[in-house]
Amino acid sequence: MRNRILLLALPVILGAAVVEAQRPRTVIKEIYDPTRKKNKTELRVTPLLDQVPPSGYVPIRVFILNDASIRRAWEFDFTSTDSSYTDEGNQLRSSFSVECEAGKETEVELLVPVVTAFQVGNSTTELLIEVRAPAGLRSSSIDLPPTSYDERFPAVLVSEELYNRNGTDLSSEAETQLSGGAGGFGPHRYRGGVSAIEFGAAFNPAQMSGDWRAYSGFDVCLLTEDDWATLSSGARTALLRWGRLGGSLVVYTSNPDTDLATIHVDKSVPGRRAADLGWGTIRLENLPPGGILDTSDTVNL
């Protein structure tokens, strides 16, 4: 987990104003025998987060339907890179093999390690996904959109409900502060120019990982009380474990009576709305009307 880094996505595929894309988004979908009427061999590759963190792991879900009479294996190669305006940075490569029995389907979650970005100031992280299919089937590859980050801000996870309502305004506020406006931190530059940015990595709470390592590259997680209830028990446990290791959980609620006992975190002190989780914290914050957050307060967590 890096201290005080904000993930800032460059709007490469989606425009910066588009904030309501469905998540998670499948980035590779192959139907290998489309002329068949049923039981087509299929592959789907879906990152559970829409940005690559500056360290830790990217959780990627893989679905395979194998309509063959033999067991087959798909090979996955990942190349994580970081770079800055003055430095091409480093690479980290990893490989996985996923087998699927004859006539069966399988779904697994891969925790893909990413290079730890050490550059001072701002930099970018990228992830190349390459799939080597069994003999006779075509291979696939895709570069995930690069993510720009800045060491002066935290790396943020934000639920899609909060992001859809606040993403554009939060991105604008972060951009203002990084460019030195509103008492900000001085110019934020990328390859010689001021970059467009996007606040935080959005996630679908119904599709979150049950492994705490999936969140280890982030510093803060913002979500609502409803999001917390939507998480699987495994994902809630993973986030609390991540919190014990230094993460900061912020849960927004529209009910002033909600406390940590209400969300089944700490029943020892009635009315308690904040607690230490080992090296990290969890706290409840009031959700403003309409779910619209104060941009300055949120960016300056």
CA angle 174, 175, 181 (to 5 degrees): 95
* pLDDT number for residue 196: 54
Residue whose pair of structure tokens reads 């900000």 in the numeric block = 184
Domains and CATH numbers, the chain: 23-146 (2.60.40.10), 150-299 (no CATH)
Pairwise CA distance, residues 189 & 180, whole Å: 11
Question: Which residues are CB-neighbours of 154 under 8 A, at least 6 positions away?
Answer: 3, 4, 5, 6, 218, 219, 220, 248, 301
* pLDDT number for residue 49: 94
pLDDT tens per residue, range 113-141: 999 987 666 778 899 999 999 999 999 99
* pLDDT number for residue 86: 62
- Written as six digits, the tokens of 262 are 């209400």
Q: Give the single-character DSSP code of 216.
A: T
Q: Are the C-beta atoms of 177 and 185 separated by less than 8 Å?
A: yes
The list of the chain residues with pLDDT below 50 reads 2-20, 182-195
Question: Which residues are CB-neighbours of 247 under 8 A, at least 6 positions away?
Answer: 1, 215, 218, 219, 220, 221, 239, 277, 280
Greatest pairwise CA separation for the chain in angstroms:
65
* pLDDT number for residue 147: 87
Q: Are the C-beta atoms of 173 and 142 separated by less than 8 Å?
A: no
Q: What is the 3-state secondary structure (H, E, C) of 233-282?
A: HHHHHHHHHHHHCCCEEEEEECCCCCCCCCCCCCCCCCCCCEEEECCEEE
* pLDDT number for residue 197: 63
Q: Which of 202, 73, 193, 97 is nearest to 147 (CA)?
A: 202
* pLDDT number for residue 177: 81
Pairwise CA distance, residues 159 & 163, whole Å: 6
Pairwise CA distance, residues 16 & 297, whole Å: 21
Q: What is the pTM of this model?
A: 0.85
pLDDT tens per residue, range 82-104: 887 666 778 999 999 999 999 99
Pairwise CA distance, residues 213 & 226, whole Å: 23
How many CA atoms, within 13 angstroms, populate the side-chain half-sphere of residue 260?
A: 18
